[in-house]
Amino acid sequence: MTQAYPTIRLKPNAEARAIRHGFPWVYDNELVTDRRTRNLEAGSLAVLEDNERKPLGLVTVNPNSRIIARMLDRDTETAVDQAWFTARLQRAYSHRARLYDQPFYRLVHAEADGLPGVVIDRFGDVAVVQPNAAWADVRFTELAQALVDVTGVTTVIKNGTGRARTLEGLEEVTEVTLGTAPEAPIPVPMNGATYMADVMGGQKTGLFYDQRPNHAFAAQLANGGRVLDVFSHVGGFGLAMLAGGATSALAVDGSAPALELAEQGAAASGFGDRFATRKGDAFSTLEALAEEGEQFDVVICDPPAFAPSKKALDAGLRAYERVARLATPLVKEGGYIGLCSCSHAADLAKFRGACTRGIGRAGRIGQLIYTGYAGPDHPLLPQLAETGYLKALFYRV
């Protein structure tokens, strides 16, 4: 049956070609926003037309957001129902099932998996869903049921927190929508170590899967060495490097709960006697370690997004440079430093420049030996730079 959707239209100066070639967003200044369009409910569906009224596809609409429309389907008559969700999730699931022999991965990476604004991380029988766009909030029940049907998970947790939802005008909420909440952190095997994911109260979905291949690379450098993991969260690089044969790892983070989970992960991995934590501000701790004369074979710094937007770019780049400048003196001659950014506003060239300047300002020379990105369970939509946010640079100092 033909669906009867309202229509919205691009302004004459809007770039319809980019939309035709796969760019998935329409900004509010590119759309004719008459009273009818402004009265559309957040999360509703509409047919997007160019200024000559030629259809471009089916989009979700949120008049309260700077991203006023997101491309959902090129078929303007498709029914966005549970069968539609099942097809999208099955396509995403088949890719991850081929990559991983255990059910621990990012199942859906938003626009890159055809589900705009939706992030789903899987932890065995538990799935944590971040519906960061209004349309996913409106259709969450169908999404959750399709998720159970495709993957067989028994618990679905809605994690509606974070900056993205604020920009969409959505309220913050964390709740179990299907099944029961885990009574304890979930052990997650990765790269020979065990990580503890707090899926109800932890940061984001409870664990970061994106660094998995970069953890594995760092583990190769750590064998027989002493390592420092700054901004460690729940053990991040430190546990992977211990699994790779590091003699010891010191994890630094400002969050006591995160460090407690890291300690639990180290114990579960059999590394408890080689793992130590230090709670404190990362910059102050780096300065204190230098004053104490400490040096390590491998130093990793994986901070939160210092440049979450273009407005924050200059300040963010200065912060990345400062991290590199303070961390580099802690690296032994011939040792390694890994510097990471999850800021999509800071592209690879700008981030690399900031890190290289920081190393130079520390009076050292760094050979860039490896550039890493998010794992293949975080596919990149080439037309949307935001999906390729993660960069990891490793230097030999």
Residues with active-site annotation: 342
Measured between alpha carbons, how far is residue 77 from residues 58, 62, 183, 311 in Å? 8, 20, 44, 39
Yes or no: say if 45 and 75 are a contact pair by the CB < 8 Å rule: no
CA distance 327 to 231: 12
Yes or no: say if 51 and 11 are a contact pair by the CB < 8 Å rule: yes
- Spatial CB neighbours of 299, under 8 Å, sequence gap ≥ 6: 227, 228, 230, 327, 328, 330, 331, 335, 336, 337, 338
| Residue recorded with tokens 């006023």 | 68
The sign of the CA dihedral 384, 386, 388, 392 is positive
CA distance 278 to 99: 35
210: left (phi over 0), alpha (psi -120 to 50) or beta: alpha
Determine whether 277 is exposed, middle or buried from the number of CB atoms within 10 Å of its CB (0-12, 13-18, 19+): buried
Helical (H) or strand (E) element with 236: helix 236-243
Helix 140-151 vs helix 82-99: angle between axes, to the nearest 10 degrees?
Answer: 40
Q: Are strands 104-109 and 296-301 parallel, antiparallel or unpaired?
A: unpaired
Q: Indicate the DSSP class of residue 170.
A: P
- Spatial CB neighbours of 300, under 8 Å, sequence gap ≥ 6: 218, 227, 228, 229, 230, 236, 237, 238, 241, 337, 338, 340
Helical (H) or strand (E) element with 259: helix 256-269
